[in-house]
Amino acid sequence: MILIGFLLITTLVFLIIGQVKGAEIILSPIIGIVFGFLYNKEQFEEEDEYTLQCALGVISITVIWINQHDGSE
């Protein structure tokens, strides 16, 4: 029960981050049961892509946003 509560709070935080960053938020069904969360950062030449994902049993919530490099690096 504590795990599910922690994941619900994590999901709420991910959704708030998604709203602040203007990110794409995706709700997806899962075949089977999965619990956990993921953070990923992909670095490309022109941009960085961030992914936050939280799996709550049979639902996955994914938040994706891109930061463009400004050329000063």
Is residue 61, in this structure, part of any structural domain at all? yes
Supply the range of the domain harboring residue 32: 2-68
Q: How confident is the model at residue 71 (pLDDT cuts 50, 70, 90)?
A: low
Strand ranges (E), 1-73: 24-43, 47-68
pLDDT given for residue 2 in this prediction:
84
pLDDT given for residue 68 in this prediction:
85
Dump pLDDT digits (tens) for 23-66.
999 999 999 999 888 999 999 888 999 999 999 889 999 999 99
What's the predicted TM-score (pTM) here?
Answer: 0.81
Q: For residue 7, what are the contacts with CB-CB under 8 A and spacing of at least 6?
A: 35, 36, 37, 54, 55, 56
Is residue 73, in this structure, part of any structural domain at all? no
The most distant pair of C-alpha atoms in the chain lies apart, rounded to whole Å, by 47
Count of domains for the chain: 1
CA 14, CA 17: separation in Å to the nearest integer?
5
Is residue 72 pLDDT above 60, yes or no?
no
Is residue 21, in this structure, part of any structural domain at all? yes
